Every structure is written in C-alpha cells, then in structure tokens.
Amino acid sequence: MAVYHVLVVHFPIALWLTAYLFIALRTFSDAEIFVRLQKSIWPLILLGSLAGAVAYILGLQIYPWSAITQSPLGRNHIMLATWTLSYWTVMGILGFRLRRHLFDGAQKWITFTVGSIGALVVVITGTLGGSLTGTPSLVTKSLSYVGWNVYTTFYVPTWMLVVFALGAILLVALGYIGRKYPD
C-alpha cells in the first residue's frame, strides 16, 4: 500500500501548492491574468482535498494503527497529514463561499497569511513522509534548529490543550461578535 500512498500523495501536494501560488500571485498583483487565475483557487484546493483524503486513507493502510502510532515519526506524520487535510479543506470551503472577497482590500493579507501557513504545513507533512520512508531531507533537519526534533512526538502539555480549547471557543465567539459590526 505504501507505493500507492506515495503515488497518490503527489496530487494533493501539487494542487494545494498550485493554489497557494495563485493566492500569492493574486495577493501581490492585480494583473488580469492573476485575477482570472484567482477563480481556480477553490476548485484546486477542494480537488486537492479529495486527492488528499484518498492519500490519507491509503497512508493509514500501510502499517497497523497500533504500530504506526508507536512510532514518533509515524505519529508526527499522521498529525501533520491531519492538519494539512483539514486545514486545506477549510480553506477550500472558505474559497468557495468567499470567492473574490478573499482578496478585497486588506483581506488579501489575511488570505495570504492563512495560505502561507497551509503551504508550510504541506511541506512539513511531505518531509515527514520522506523521513518515514528513510529519506530525511534538509527540511527535517532544519525543523530541529527551530525547536522541533521530528524524531520526538509532537504533543503539547495538558495546560496547552486547555488553551487550545479556549482558543477555539474564543475564535468562534469573536466571529459572531465581530460580524455584528458593519463592513
């Protein structure tokens, strides 16, 4: 199953990173071609999510769950793959709902920031997959220079989990409170 995971996983990576490229181009330019390309962003993202879901399911078939979740690198790859898939799916839904408004005025910087985080997560997920198959890249090593050795499981302490939960509630609350204000 590993070979099929590796085969399929190229599709979401290519689609999501292409979408990010279009987001970046549109953020920094109002040229007509980039305005046209902007229309393809959400389809690219959601196609990527579809391919990503297939790759995700295939990936989970490679090793028994009990084995892969005993491996720090395995856990990390699952964690990052879950983030990537969910993050870009959320981005795709936003793209579908907001369309061109993603790039209205200063909002384009929000879109660009959120998109950049997504691109970063894709790259880390990919490099963890490479490490898992025995081909660590410079990205793997670079992560340790900025505080995360990928051969240790990524998890946060319990108090941080509480902060996460509170943060999620706060974000939703800010959304509902903020939307009462006019544009």
Partner 1 sequence: MRRTYLAVSVAIFASLLVAAWVTNDTGVKVNDPENNIFIPEELTTTLQVKASYDEENIYFRYRWPVDRPSIFHDVLVYRDGVWEREKGEEIGPSENFLNEDRVAMMIDDGSVPLFSRYGGYITIGDRLSTFTGAPEGGEERTKYLPETRSDPNNFDTVVPQSELDTLREAGYFIDLWQWRSSRSNPIGLGDDGLVAEERSGDQGTGPYYTNWDNELDQPRFMFDPQVTGQNSLNFDDVVAGNYNFDDVYYLSDQTAIAFDPNFEWKNGDTIPRRMLRDTQGSRADVVQPTASRWEDGYWDVTLQRKLDTGNVLDDKIFRDKGSYDLAFSVFKNASTMRWHYVSLPMSLGLETDAQLVAQKFTGENPGWEQDWTEVKMFYPGQISWGRLTDPNLHPGAEGIAQGVPVAYRHSEEQLALYGVEVEFADAIYNQWLWTLFLSLLLIVAMGININLLMIRREH
Q: Which residues contact partner 1 by CB under 8 A?
A: 63-64, 66-72, 74-75, 78-79, 82-83, 86-87, 90-91, 93-94, 97-98, 101-102, 104-107, 110, 113-114, 117, 132, 134, 146-149, 151-161, 163-165, 167-172, 174-179, 181-183
Q: Is 149 helix (H, G, I), strand (E, B) or coil?
A: coil
> Which two three-digit tokens encode residue 170?
């706060």
* CA dist., res. 16 & res. 76, Å (int): 20
- Residue number with CB closer to partner 1 (3 or 177): 177
Q: Is-contact 122 13, C-beta < 8 A?
A: yes
Q: Closest distance between partner 1 and the C-beta of residue 5, in Å?
A: 13
Q: Which of 55, 61, 49, 58 is nearest to 15 (CA)?
A: 49
CB of 158 to partner 1, least distance (A): 6
Other CB atoms within 10 A of residue 111 CB: 23
- Residue number, 32 or 183, with CB nearest to partner 1: 183
Tokens of 163: 């902060």
As measured in angstroms, the least distance from the Cβ of 49 to partner 1 is 13
Residues 88, 20 contacting (CB under 8 angstroms): no
**Closest CB to partner 1 among 46 and 78?**
78
Give the nearest distance from C-beta 98 to partner 1 in angstroms: 5
